[in-house]
Structure 1
Amino acid sequence: MSIEPKPFPVLVTGGAGYIGSHAVLALLDAGWPVVVVDNLVTGFRWAVPDAATFVEADVGQTETMTAIIAKHKVGAIMHFAGSVVVPESVTDPLKYYRNNTVASRALIEAAVAGGVRHFIFSSTAATYGIPDQVPISEDAAKQPINPYGMSKLMTEIMLKDVAAAHPLNVCALRYFNVAGADPQGRAGQSTTGATHLIKVAVEAATGRRESVAVYGTDYATADGTGVRDYIHVSDLAEAHVHALDYLVAHPDESLTMNCGYGRGFSVLEVLDAVDRVTNQAVTRTMEARRAGDPDQLVADNQRILATLPWRARRDDLAVIVEDALAWERKLHDLRESGATSG
């Protein structure tokens, strides 16, 4: 099946990182020309496919980004670059307001100056804070409980205001818990010291960690551990491509949508799934709750299902774990061969 030519290149910031690298693959698979900008502080140059143009730069430098947009005739931006570790945002809030909010403002200014018409923003369920109701709809109160969530919400607000003042339409995608890896083994989560549960669990299963900490066993859930909505990173990446298609087809509309499956799994259920997939028991250590962790975070995903032709293709916890585990093993081989310094 032939792919129709695309009208312009897409700039992907943070395209050498975890979610960004999967979005690059999804865009390339759909026939979009891609320009990746990444400062490689947490990303990996080897994670960017040869089919994409790579520029090492900081998205917070407006003049640099304006020049890149002009040189490559960029028509849309997918913005993933930023800092994502929630506990770190509490201890170092200024880093998060700089990397997530101030840098985004600089990028948005470059987008406006360069005449970019479409902007897709990597946002988060952390904008909701501790929800009053689960599943969480997009219209729920936005009351972040940490600087990470607030830094993302501030960028959402900037984008909404800029879209009202300039010929730019915007889609903010609020992710729930992203996990897994490219089923073809082309990309995965490679950052050292990652804090996401499934990544931590497969690291433990492959001997990279001694155990997995379970933070809190007294939540108001069936087994006392926190419940989260886990979405496969490749499904999430495909949602971005569908969102881009929508923005192009509806230039006067902007969107805000949750990205999740609409069902949750507890920490213990996830670890049980890892045990089944690996046929071994991951060592668990029971720790005290972390401040501010909600009992449950589960998406109401009706809006994205009603708006886009996107449908979950990997909505199976075992599949998510299997893909994460396969990547972890591949990453081990890459490290052993010296192909990555991660």
Structure 2
Amino acid sequence: MEALVERLSHLDSHVEGTIRVVMFYDTLMRRRVDLPALARASAGLAECVAGVRLHGTERVIRFSPDGRETSVPPAPASSTVPITLDEEEIGTVWLERPGPPGPLDEVLLDRLAIAAASVVERYGPARTTMADPALVELVVSADCDEAARARALRLLGFAADLPLRVVAVRSELPLDQLGGLLSPARPVKAASLADVGVILATTVDPTPFPAGVRAGIGAAARPDRAWREARTALRFTTPRRPVVHYDALGALALLAQVPREAARENADVTAIARIAARQADLETLDAYCATGSLRRAADLLHLHHSSVSRRLDHIGATLGIDLTDPAGLIRARLALTTWRLLED
């Protein structure tokens, strides 16, 4: 390779130079080099700094002509060419040549861009957790056609034939840290869409969700349906139940489809709103609905069961529901859950 670079540096014919630049990159592509090797070889050929940037990962690679990756502040690009894959711009290549562009800079960058697109298609983007929100939105959008979704998945580093889990989160931790915890050894990408974090992963272990995180996990195979399910499951999370799998909701998921106005007008939901002003009563009802047992609720609340019993008598009277009756307990659970969905 070094011998070829040396010969190219003495070319007199523009046409011959163009042919040899094309041959140079054809050789690199046959050798299946990676992006750093492409940038390094290009810098040596151009005798100036060469750079590559991928939009999806914000990865920037810059090499100087001496073959070393450079960290000095970049000079203004003398020539720039976009990297395109399947008619979509996925990045940029450039040269930082002092003075005007060289006679072969245009063809050199064209071939570098083609080679870079080939590398991305073959190997996928650099391993990183944070992703371009636009690509993630394409993956989970119900309006996206399947070809565009497959292209976005490939650019994010996911193989089209592998299963994909979709998680909706609200987290006090940065999304990149959370993604690394949930899938430390497998591909994982994260981005923020509006006020909800999105995590895409081939596998998700629910056990390492740290404190301060609420998460809904979709169940569907299609990413757009799984995203809808994950957002629904997120609405059902509580401090006592911070991680909810959509498929564990069963018929409860239907509550998310109840029109808000109809839910607000329901007498049981209105009654829950009244007791919610008293935090102790709300926590007591939540513990009782979660356990279905006076004594287990008392254990959760660290109170004597007689104290919990008195609170429940008062709450039941306020709700107009006999909480000791199984049907009454179901009514209270449904009303409490529906009220929480309204508060989301």
* TM-score interval, smaller chain: under 0.3
More contact order relative to length (CA 8 Å, sep ≥ 6): 1
Normalised by the length of structure 1, the TM-score is 0.23
Normalised by the length of structure 2, the TM-score is 0.22
Structure (1 or 2) with the larger CA radius of gyration: 2
